[in-house]
Amino acid sequence: MTHYPNGPIVIAAGGTGGHLFPGQALAQELRRRGRRIVLMTDERVQRFDKLFPDADIYAVPSATPSGKGIAGLLRAAPSILAGVARSFSILQRVKPAALIGFGGYPTLPPVLAAILRGVPACVHEQNAVLGRVNRLAGPHVQAIASTFDAPKFLKARDAGKLVLTGNPVRDAVIAQAGAAYETPGNEGKIKLLVFGGSQGARVMSDIVPLALARLPERLRRRLSVVQQCRAEDIARVGEIYSAADIDAELNAFFDDMPARIAACHLVIGRSGASTVSELAVIGRPAILVPLPHSLDNDQKANAEKLAQAGAAWMIEQKYFTEDALCERLEKLFEDPADLEAAARAAKAQGQPNAVRDLADLVEALGRGEFRALRRRGRNGGKSDGDAKLLKFAIGGA
């Protein structure tokens, strides 16, 4: 294929916010560099106009195999093959410099088409577990960008392609990265933020209000709760808080979530890739309740990473009860030094330069100047013991 170093960058992303938000952050950075952006996504394309306002957006057929095994794959094959054909045609028309896929089955057809056409391509893994599409594409792309230094299921043959960039976060998150953590002390307001991912989570509405209502009165009167609820849960959750005399703001959606994270003392939420990355960049402690049936247990792996760093407390959903949560919260609120220490630990895990590093990688691929160098340590020069990681260099530097 003819090389087009000045062509657009194609971003293949779709499905959940965990795949879309890093793509949005990368698009913002590349637009600042004067790059034209092409988004190839699934057929829910209208949802993404506001996330990618300056991009040329193309809908590509795809499907997620239903169930495990060859039967599920065969049922999805016609849509995937149609998506590959459509993607092949789009790539021929837009003449991209490079393509990056953010995982999930909506990205499979564009990534396969790029491989077939010889377009310089890489994939990005947001989670601590390498996703199935990225595992499939790994042997055939030039680089595997990663949030974590040793994603589960990375094959030894592909380890030489691993580039530790971190997980890009949106401009609105970076804008809050400098907000200092202020401990609530022993008398001040305790600001608690509760959310369950882009679609909300019923378990948060079922457990959190009842757990907070069981706290001692001296703690309840200090609480200021902001909680994302499903619309159908708002009334009953509000009644519980009102009866317990707890100040609470409830909504089905908050469009200023990064500012809400920065303003709180503690988050209770799921542990999707974007949530974990945003908590770390802003530097806020959290109680994380992984989605129990997430593919390959990626949310549990994400939560374990922060918990092992001292930045969060993980409670698996089967143990996420009123008693367990109330006991944990009472200990934390009675000794806010633990919250402050966890906030520092979270901040130490943050990778605020991830979007810059990922944009550098993609542009290097587009120019044909990418090469891998072994080095020690992780993004930003922090040491990770003897772990050998790959960092990229431009023009052999």
Q: Give binding residues for UDP-N-acetyl-alpha-D-glucosamine as ranges.
A: 16-18, 127, 170, 198, 299
CB 366 within 8 A of CB 120: yes
Query: Which residues fall within 8 angstroms of residue 59, CB to CB, at 6 or more apart?
Result: 41, 42, 43, 45
For 113, the enclosing helix (H) or strand (E) is helix 108-117
Q: What is the Cα–Cα distance from 77 to 134, expressed in whole angstroms?
A: 17
The position carrying tokens 């891998």 is 372
Residue list, annotated binding site: 16-18, 127, 170, 198, 299
Q: In sequence order, which residues have a C-beta less than 8 Å from that of residue 369 and are 6 or more positions away? A: 394, 395, 396
Measured between alpha carbons, how far is residue 332 from residues 219, 265, 340 in Å?
Answer: 11, 10, 10
Judged on CB neighbours under 10 Å (0-12, 13-18, 19+), 315 is buried
User: CA-to-CA distance for 29 and 50, rounded, in angstroms?
Assistant: 16
- Whose tokens are 């939560």? That residue is 303
Identify the bridge partners of residue 370 per DSSP, sorted by sequence position: 394
